[in-house]
Amino acid sequence: MLNIYGPGGIGGLIAGVLAHNGQKVAVVATERTADAINRNGIVIKSKRFGNFTAQVPALTSPARGSEILLCTKAYTLPSIEKSIRSARPKEVGALFNGFDHARAIHTLTEGESWSGSVYTISERTAPGVIEHTSQFLKVEMPDTAMDGEIARVLLNGGIDVFFRGTENQVLWRKLRNQCAMALLTGATGLPIGRAMERAPELTEAMCTELARIATMEKVPTRPAEIHAWLRRLAPDAHSSLSRDLRDGNRTEIHSLGTAVLEEAARLGVPAPAITAALSAIDDRLRGRK
């Protein structure tokens, strides 16, 4: 049975949709969240899938021999990797943000392993309660995961799944845009529309830098493509990084910023705009201490 580790905005939505569509799935959560889900199910409020409650068994550690789909934040991996290895999973997939976690995912099982990307707007508003505010839920996986059990369950459960090249290409296709969104909103503390208006030169420079990095990662990209993607976003949209900064939560600044800057240095790509945005975010982090 597929075990989804982390029933938050992404994992809870996927688990609920799969169960609602007749797939066998369980979630792995903290004791508090597992108790809530075992009592009340996963409550889905979705613009795409409608409103319903799915009965999904909730565990506090993954079942032995299961397939595991990781839907937590990448920074949680050190705290959960022991329980994953102990389960001896047949397959492990990760839908983390960023790219630098991929190597660690391949150490978690002797079976199949991969990292992919998920595209949606969804958040957990309470344990087991998910609000899905976009009309889409799309999972991109590397071609090597096409014949795996996780792909089969997702496809049979009504999830839009696409296989789009190598693992690195799948991760960078998302990250090139997500990094721009996260750093601009995180640096300014503004929604993306006002952030781009406030810092047009930073926006243009960042798009140029990220396009160069993505192209060198074998995802050919023009700066105008990233800029157009940002303009298509709702002007009042905030990134999860920006919300975490605002709310005093732990952030994904390493996955969405620092690791990208380090990769730029490795590739020999000057990145003063990314550096400036990270400096502004660091100032905000220092200011909340």
pLDDT digits (tens, 9 = 90+) for 260-284: 999 999 999 999 999 999 999 999 8
Same domain? For 120 and 206 the reply is no
* Closest to 161 (Cα-Cα) out of 187, 140, 136: 140
Residue 73, domain CATH: 3.40.50.720
- The pLDDT score that the predictor gives to residue 288 is 59
23 and 158 inside one domain: yes
Residue 157 has pLDDT above 60, yes or no: yes
DSSP letter at 87 equals: T
Predicted pLDDT at 94: 98
| Four-residue CA torsion sign, 201, 233, 142, 7 | positive
Adjacent-strand bridge partners of 26? 3
In whole angstroms, give the CA distance from residue 222 to residue 5. Answer: 35
- List the alpha helices (DSSP H) in the chain: 11-20, 31-40, 77-86, 102-105, 149-156, 167-188, 192-198, 200-216, 223-232, 240-247, 253, 259-267, 272-287
| Arithmetic mean of pLDDT, 2-24 | 98
pLDDT score for 286: 85
If asked whether residues 184 and 253 sit together in one domain, one would say yes
How many CB atoms are located within 10 Å of the residue 109 CB?
18
Closest-CA residue to 187 (of 255, 246, 112): 246
Whether 46 and 155 share a structural domain: yes
- Give CA–CA dist 119/174, Å, rounded: 8
Q: Who has greater pLDDT, 143 or 123?
A: 143
- Write down the pLDDT at residue 92: 98
Residues 152 and 46 in one domain: yes
- CA angle 13-253-250, nearest 5°? 65
Q: Same domain, yes or no, for 154 and 28?
A: yes
> Which structure tokens are listed for 227?
């800029």
Query: Where is the domain boundary, 106, 132, 164?
Result: 164
pLDDT of 121 strictly over 90: no
Span 176-223, pLDDT tens digits: 999 999 999 999 999 999 999 999 999 999 999 999 999 999 999 999
**Claim to verify: residue 124 and residue 75 sit in the same structural domain:** yes
Q: Could you tell me if 130 and 232 lie in one domain?
A: no
Instruction: Please tell me the pTM assigned to this model.
Output: 0.94
Q: Sorting pLDDT into bands at 50, 70 and 90, what band is 287?
A: confident
For residues 34 and 97, membership in a common domain is answered with yes
**Are 111 and 209 in a shared domain?**
no
Burial call 170-187: b when 16+ CB within 10 Å, e when fewer: bbbbbbbbbbbbbbbbbb
Query: CA 108: distance to chain centroid?
Result: 19
Q: What's the mean pLDDT in 99-107?
A: 97
CA 64 – CA 87 distance, rounded (Å): 4
Instruction: Give the amino acid at 141.
Output: M
Judge whether 189 and 287 are in contact, CB under 8 Å.
Answer: no
CATH assignment of the domain containing 265: 1.10.1040.10
CA-based angle 78:84:85, to the nearest 5?
95
Range of the domain at 129: 1-164
Quote the radius of gyration of the chain (alpha carbons, Å): 19
Last residue of a domain, one of 149, 164, 179: 164
Whether residue 222 sits in one domain with residue 201: yes
Residue 289 has pLDDT above 70, yes or no: no
Report pLDDT for 222. Answer: 98
CA distance 198 to 126: 34
- Cα 109 from Cα 7, distance rounded (Å): 21
Predicted confidence at residue 163, as pLDDT, reads: 98
Specify whether 228 is located in the same domain as 265: yes
Task: Give the pLDDT band (50/70/90) at residue 235.
Answer: very high
Q: In what order do the strands lie in the sheet with 117-119?
A: 117-119, 138-141, 160-163
Q: Which of 108, 133, 164 is the last residue of a domain?
A: 164
Tens of pLDDT, residues 26-62: 999 999 999 999 999 999 999 999 999 999 999 999 9
Within 10 angstroms of residue 110's Cβ, the number of other Cβ atoms is 10
How many independent structural domains does the chain possess? Answer: 2
